[in-house]
Chain A
Amino acid sequence: MAILYIVLPLAIVLAAIGLAGFFWAVHRGQYDDLDTPSVRMLFDDEE
């Protein structure tokens, strides 16, 4: 089970990468407006 010494830190690193992505999205303002995008995707593209 010595593999745990590699897998465990790896799992934490993966979680940290996910969190970093989340931070980036929050700071870009992607969570500021949660209502409009849900209706915007209903419109057909033009041209």
Chain B
Amino acid sequence: MIQPATHTSASGVVATVTCSHCGLPVPKGLITPKPGDQFCCAGCRAAHDLIHGCGLDTYYHLRETGRADAPRADQEPVGYDAYDDEAFARRYVTRHDEAAASIDLTLEGVHCAACVWLIEKLPRLVPGVLDARLSLREGRVRVTWDPSCVKLSAIARTLATLGYRPHPGRDLTKRQIARREERQQLIRIGVAGALAGNVMLLAFALYAGMFSGIEREYAQLFRWVSMGLGVLSLAWPGRVFFRGAWVALRTRSPHLDLPIALALGVGGVAGVLNVVLGRGEIYFDSLCVLVFLLLVGRFIQFRQQRKADAAVDLLMSLTPTTCRRVTGGTIEQVPIDAVEAGDLLEVHPNELMPADGEVVSGSAWVVASLITGESQPVPVAVGDSVCGGSQLKGSSIRIQVTAVGASSRVGRLMAQVSECLAEKPAMVGVTDRIAGWFVVVVSALALVVFSAWSLVGIGPAVDHTVALLIVACPCALGLATPLTFAVAIGRSARRDTLIKSGAAMDRLAQPGRLLLDKTGTLTRGQMQVDHWRGDETLQPLLPVIQQQAGHPIARAVVQAYGHIELPADQRARVGPVTVSARGVSAPTHRGTLAVGSVRYIQEQRARVPARFWGWADHLAQRAFTPVLVAEDGVVVAVFGVGDTVYSDAEAALDQLGRWGWRVEMLTGDCSAVAEHVADQIGLPKQAVNAEVSPEQKLAAAKRRVDDRPVVMVGDGVNDAAALAAADVGIAVSGGAEASLAAADIYLGRPGLATLVEVIATARQTRRTIRRNLAVSLGYNALAVSLAAAGLINPLVAAVLMPLSSVTVLALAMSGQAKAVRLVDGPDPRSEPSDTDRG
């Protein structure tokens, strides 16, 4: 058996000295003996110098009281040249006059009061900036500056130096529409609230009159005024329910607006008639409160969903929008939209390919895991073609663009995604399904009550039927359901899980087919060192000699062992490193070390003891690349480099299986790797689908074996169409932009524990909703029987309705998800981050 390796835990870092800026531990090599500020990287030093130099040290005090760490500073803020472009300015900048322009920028890393304070001090940090206003909720700052004094790129660079990487806001129209909608909803709530309050005051007078008597003249006055205000409430803020009911009728889909509109409509018409005729009861106070409460419930859910939308927008704007174009001898930053086929582009390590192309100079590795699902880096050299969206590793290359936009591979996949999203039917919420038969039952009851009372007389029959229809309004349900979802969505957001709609969450409560992508979902999607066998004392030496090699394996080694300190005298004795394509070698205090592939070690004519052969074979079978370490011509250690499975995957799948989910794996990777991963997580062979193309993934997500939901979990562009087509699409952290746009839910933390968490929350939410349902239907049943018996008057209705709402609300708020944690769920902080910050 291969031992689990002992490496890459954050605890390996000596945690006594922390960075004065970001609060993270300072690597031992960077600790300066002098007392005073210590920094973990040059970026944090620059940020601290900037803040200190402008006399803004209050930031650090504010932060301590807020108990939050500063975002880690950007080491070398590059790539903001395009901000000075004419094209950029036309798209994003608003010009007020000669000396003032403004722009909305979305910032990464904004989370607390200290952030607000520091960012709004931007005019002091950058002379020429006139004003900066931050919106904490959206992480968006509006910067007003004088273009004749300072360039926008300088402002952007300062923000990046502080750790708040700016991005121009995308899709401004969408945001404006959302803002207008939110304002309209607020106005409706305000009007409904004011009218409800005033009608209730009038109703008090009338109720008092019921007990102590009231002159008919004044009773009529109160009734007329109540009618005026009540009709206004129904016709203005209450119009949304009538409109919703009308749409539901036209599309023949059940909706909760139907029974609500029925109650409001019948109550309104009967009330007006009774006032005009000067007889019978009026229910305008109950109706107005109904409108007000329902609007509040909907507004809260709308706000939560908008918050999730804004967070997804931010994630999407993180993808680069510019690239480097080489024209003649000069390199310029241009927007990706401006690139055309035939252009020459320069791409740097860790960047994404801006377009499909052919390598014209340089050689490096590309990781196409987001496009194809393949986890192994592929070497590319002059003449090879590269696919847009894949990540470059190693060194810079230049490519000649062959296809952009809709004609590129990513473009074709994106076209499929939007097709699937357009086809996807609107989800019918749980309360809407109930609303369908609710209307039928209530209408039937109304008919029975009317015919029974018409034996007594037509007058009482009409009165009691109207009372029944009003008290049967599912107010508690209409108020509690959006609130229950809003609470669940809000709590998930605090755990970095973004849920775009309550209906999507509701679908997760019922187990169905769960399709899992492999690379990046079940596995980390990055090369990692694992399974070290042999002499462990060599580990600290490896990063030193691997540092100069650009190969992904060398990078994985540096990441794994770079934190172990090598004594200075030993470091000094590391001689010149010889780098070749398959390995490196260098003289050290222990003799000449050679590190590389099996072939490299053979080329070096090193002796390989038999047990190392066995281990190397074993690693190769498990889809790891074996790396051998030879000391003076004898192999003394072997380790594997490959994509490792999340440690919590098996426990998570086990839990999902117990809930009744049928788990399948869909991957573009080869079957040997897929089966090995399946083996590790305890997935049977028949549930593994390897070498699957994006089209086949889409077909799998569309196939319905039964009426149970199909849930797709993935991260890549190759998953995006399937995410859009599935009943619920879940994108995982580190994924491609396309998968974010297509998915209903985004899991912001790596590992599968969050997937279990979101499903647990969905199950809990459904239980809460069922209980709300039982209680509110119980109230309705009670009210309906009272009405059928002719015992309901406006006062009883006015007491019963808020009482039921309050009960259900209390249940909705109290019975919410207790966090489900897997026993060995990973600490998200110990996961390696997928952005290389050096």
Set B179, B194, B221: member contacting A32, Cβ < 8 A? B179
CB of B607 closer than 8 Å to a CB of A: no
Q: Which of B132-140, B565-573, B598-606 contacts A (4 or more CB under 8 A)?
A: B132-140
Nearest CB of A to B171, in Å: 17
A33 to B215, CA, bound (A): 49
Question: Which B153-206 residues have C-beta < 8 A from chain A?
Answer: 179, 182-183, 186-187, 190-191, 194, 197-198, 201
CB of B444 closer than 8 Å to a CB of A: no
A39 to B137, CA, bound (A): 12
Set B112, B120, B137, B190: member contacting A33, Cβ < 8 A? B137
Question: Which A1-47 residues have C-beta < 8 A from chain B?
Answer: 1, 4-5, 8, 11-12, 15, 18-19, 22-23, 26-27, 31-36, 39-40, 42-43
Nearest CB of A to B116, in Å: 5
Question: Which B90-148 residues have C-beta < 8 A from chain A?
Answer: 112-113, 116-117, 120, 134-138
A23 to B751, CA, bound (A): 47
Residues of B within 8 A of A12 (CB): 198, 225, 229
Check B191 against A19 for contact (C-beta < 8 Å): yes
Assuming A33-B137, A34-B137, is B186 touching A5 (CB within 8 A)?
A: no
Residue of B nearest to A19 (CB): B194
Set B182, B183, B218, B229: member contacting A27, Cβ < 8 A? B183
Check B221 against A4 for contact (C-beta < 8 Å): yes
Check A39 against B183 for contact (C-beta < 8 Å): no
A1 to B198, CA, bound (A): 19
Residues of A within 8 A of B182 (CB): 32
Residues of A within 8 A of B229 (CB): 12
Residues of A within 8 A of B190 (CB): 19, 22-23, 26
A32 to B201, CA, bound (A): 31
Check B218 against A4 for contact (C-beta < 8 Å): yes
Check B194 against A39 for contact (C-beta < 8 Å): no
Nearest CB of A to B659, in Å: 36
A31 to B187, CA, bound (A): 11
Nearest CB of B to A18, in Å: 7
A31 to B190, CA, bound (A): 12
Residues of A within 8 A of B194 (CB): 15, 18-19
Nearest CB of B to A46, in Å: 9
Check B137 against A1 for contact (C-beta < 8 Å): no
Set A1, A11, A19, A42: member contacting B215, Cβ < 8 A? A1
Check B221 against A26 for contact (C-beta < 8 Å): no
Residues of B within 8 A of A1 (CB): 215, 218
Residues of B within 8 A of A23 (CB): 187, 190
Residue of B nearest to A32 (CB): B179
Residues of B within 8 A of A36 (CB): 116, 134-137
A43 to B118, CA, bound (A): 11
Check A8 against B225 for contact (C-beta < 8 Å): yes
Set A8, A19, A43: member contacting B221, Cβ < 8 A? A8
Q: Which residue among A32, A34, A39, A42 has the maximum number of chain B CB atoms within 10 Å of its CB?
A: A39
A32 to B183, CA, bound (A): 8
Residues of B within 8 A of A40 (CB): 116, 120
Assuming A40-B116, A42-B113, is B183 touching A33 (CB within 8 A)?
A: no
Check B186 against A39 for contact (C-beta < 8 Å): no
A43 to B114, CA, bound (A): 9
Nearest CB of B to A5, in Å: 7
Residue of B nearest to A42 (CB): B113
Residues of B within 8 A of A32 (CB): 135, 179, 182-183
Check A35 against B137 for contact (C-beta < 8 Å): yes
Assuming A27-B183, A31-B186, is B113 touching A15 (CB within 8 A)?
A: no
Set B112, B183, B197, B198: member contacting A26, Cβ < 8 A? B183
Residues of B within 8 A of A5 (CB): 221
Nearest CB of B to A30, in Å: 10
Set A15, A19, A22, A39: member contacting B116, Cβ < 8 A? A39
Residues of B within 8 A of A35 (CB): 135-137
Assuming A1-B218, A8-B221, A32-B179, is B117 touching A43 (CB within 8 A)?
A: yes
Residues of A within 8 A of B215 (CB): 1
Check B136 against A33 for contact (C-beta < 8 Å): yes
Residue of B nearest to A9 (CB): B225
Nearest CB of A to B312, in Å: 18
Contact code string B649-674 (vs A, CB < 8 Å = 1, else 0): 00000000000000000000000000
Nearest CB of B to A47, in Å: 12
Nearest CB of B to A32, in Å: 6
Check A26 against B186 for contact (C-beta < 8 Å): yes
A23 to B189, CA, bound (A): 11
Residues of B within 8 A of A11 (CB): 198, 201
Contact code string B215-226 (vs A, CB < 8 Å = 1, else 0): 100100100010
Nearest CB of A to B199, in Å: 11
Nearest CB of A to B26, in Å: 29
Nearest CB of A to B227, in Å: 13
A31 to B182, CA, bound (A): 9
Residues of B within 8 A of A43 (CB): 62, 113, 117
Residues of B within 8 A of A22 (CB): 187, 190
Nearest CB of B to A33, in Å: 5
Nearest CB of B to A27, in Å: 7
Question: Which B206-238 residues have C-beta < 8 A from chain A?
Answer: 215, 218, 221, 225, 229
A11 to B112, CA, bound (A): 43
A32 to B182, CA, bound (A): 8
Nearest CB of A to B634, in Å: 63
Residue of B nearest to A18 (CB): B194
Residue of A nearest to B112 (CB): A39
A1 to B215, CA, bound (A): 10
Nearest CB of A to B81, in Å: 31
A19 to B117, CA, bound (A): 33
Residues of A within 8 A of B198 (CB): 11-12, 15
Nearest CB of A to B304, in Å: 13
A27 to B221, CA, bound (A): 35
Nearest CB of B to A14, in Å: 10
A40 to B113, CA, bound (A): 7
Check A39 against B136 for contact (C-beta < 8 Å): yes
A39 to B201, CA, bound (A): 37
Question: Which B784-803 residues have C-beta < 8 A from chain A?
Answer: none
Nearest CB of B to A8, in Å: 6
Nearest CB of A to B486, in Å: 15
Set B113, B187, B197, B221: member contacting A39, Cβ < 8 A? B113
Would you list 19 pairs from A and B whose C-beta atoms are within 8 A, ordered by A residue? A4-B218, A4-B221, A5-B221, A11-B198, A12-B198, A12-B229, A19-B194, A22-B190, A26-B183, A26-B186, A32-B182, A32-B183, A33-B136, A33-B138, A35-B136, A36-B116, A36-B135, A36-B136, A39-B116
4 nearest A-B residue pairs (beta carbon): A39-B113, A36-B136, A35-B136, A35-B137
Q: 17 new A-B pairs (CB below 8 Å) besides A8-B225, A31-B186? A: A1-B215, A1-B218, A4-B221, A5-B221, A11-B198, A15-B197, A18-B194, A19-B191, A23-B187, A26-B187, A32-B182, A33-B135, A33-B138, A35-B135, A35-B137, A36-B137, A43-B62
